[in-house]
Amino acid sequence: MDNIEPKNHSEWKLYTFQEVLSMKCIDDFEEYIRKTIQRLVQHKNFWIKEGAIAQGKSFLQKYFPKEWKEIPEVTVSKTFVNKEGESELTKFYEYLKEEKRYLNKEISEEEFQRIVVEKRLNSNIVFQEKIEKEYFKVLCDQVLFDEKKEETYVWDRSQQSTTIFARFNGMKEKEIQKLKSHEFYFDEIIKRSVVIYIYTSVRQTIQNEQKRKRLEEKDLDIKYLRELKERYYSLMIEAYGNKPLKIRSFENFNISETNIFKKLWRNIDPKKEQRLQKKLNDVLENNV
């Protein structure tokens, strides 16, 4: 039988599972990867805390059972830094600050581009691409291959955040579609998740932001914060699209008012979430 190997083929290369998630593959192989993810998470439970900036998502974590694994927002992770050790989020907000100066004609286009290069700033598309890859890294390291067959995870936002913020920051739909070309892998997490949407007043949002004083957000504009707050819910629903989605929302959340959270939990289908419900209700009873 004649040699059936291609005459002009490249050398074999070994890729990690994380690298494959961002690669364009044939349909059959993509389906194999998707089913592999399904198998790895079939006995795992997921919660996603959603909401605009400074709504109380991080502080809410203390009311979940301690044994549940918290996955912080990737953009404020200590590992989400560039080669110089600088926060990628900080470099994005610096970009928005300089872009605003350029749009207001305070600096020329040439000066704007020079600042972007010299300060290693992240444009919208570059920043969202980095976040997208970081979510796949977290998915692999902290969920798929954490050597646990059963576990409950609490995400601070999900990979859908790249769609939300890309649209809010004016990225073109064609660029967003390219950015999200592999989101179907992360959909296996979304399908198994309960999404908690937290929202508060604009005044409380600004107070929360000023109180937490994150270094990464030192260049965050108040107008940007307010506009994001006003548009976040519609952007979130649009980003999640027709994916199975269970949203529990409550307004002007006061962390000390645990009865609100208890009521929210009891609205969840008891047949599917009964075991998890009992754990959290026990925790809440001790804090009321």
> Does residue 282 surpass a pLDDT of 80?
no
pLDDT of residue 158: 92
pLDDT of residue 145: 95
pLDDT in tens, 176-197: 999 999 989 998 899 888 888 8
pLDDT of residue 13: 78
Sheet of strand 247-251, all strands in order from the earlier edge strand to the far edge: 69-71, 151-156, 44-50, 193-199, 247-251
pLDDT of residue 243: 77
In the chain, the percentage of residues whose pLDDT exceeds 70 is 79
pLDDT of residue 254: 46
Tokens of 44: 């795992």
Contact 130, 122 (CB under 8 A): yes
pLDDT of residue 64: 82
| Pairing label, strands 193-199, 151-156 | unpaired
d(CA 153, CA 161): 17
Report, as an integer, the average pLDDT of 119-148.
93
> Does residue 96 surpass a pLDDT of 80?
yes
> Does residue 42 surpass a pLDDT of 90?
yes
Beta-bridge mates of residue 81: 87
Could you tell me how many helices (H) and strands (E) the chain has, helices first? 13, 5
262 or 180, higher pLDDT: 180
Q: Which CATH number applies to 43-63+81-255: 3.40.50.300, 3.40.190.10, 3.40.1190.20, 2.30.31.70? A: 3.40.50.300
Q: Which residues contact 26 (CB under 8 A, 6 or more apart)?
A: none
pLDDT of residue 256: 40
* pLDDT band at residue 255 under the 50/70/90 scheme: very low
> Does residue 287 surpass a pLDDT of 80?
no
Report domain extents, the chain: 43-63+81-255
pLDDT of residue 3: 53
pLDDT of residue 259: 40
> 0.85 cut: is pTM over it?
no
Tokens of 164: 């939300």
pLDDT of residue 9: 59
d(CA 20, CA 136): 10
Q: Tell me what the pLDDT averaged over the chain comes to.
A: 81
pLDDT of residue 6: 53
44 or 258, higher pLDDT: 44
124 or 13, higher pLDDT: 124
144 or 64, higher pLDDT: 144
In the chain, the percentage of residues whose pLDDT exceeds 90 is 41
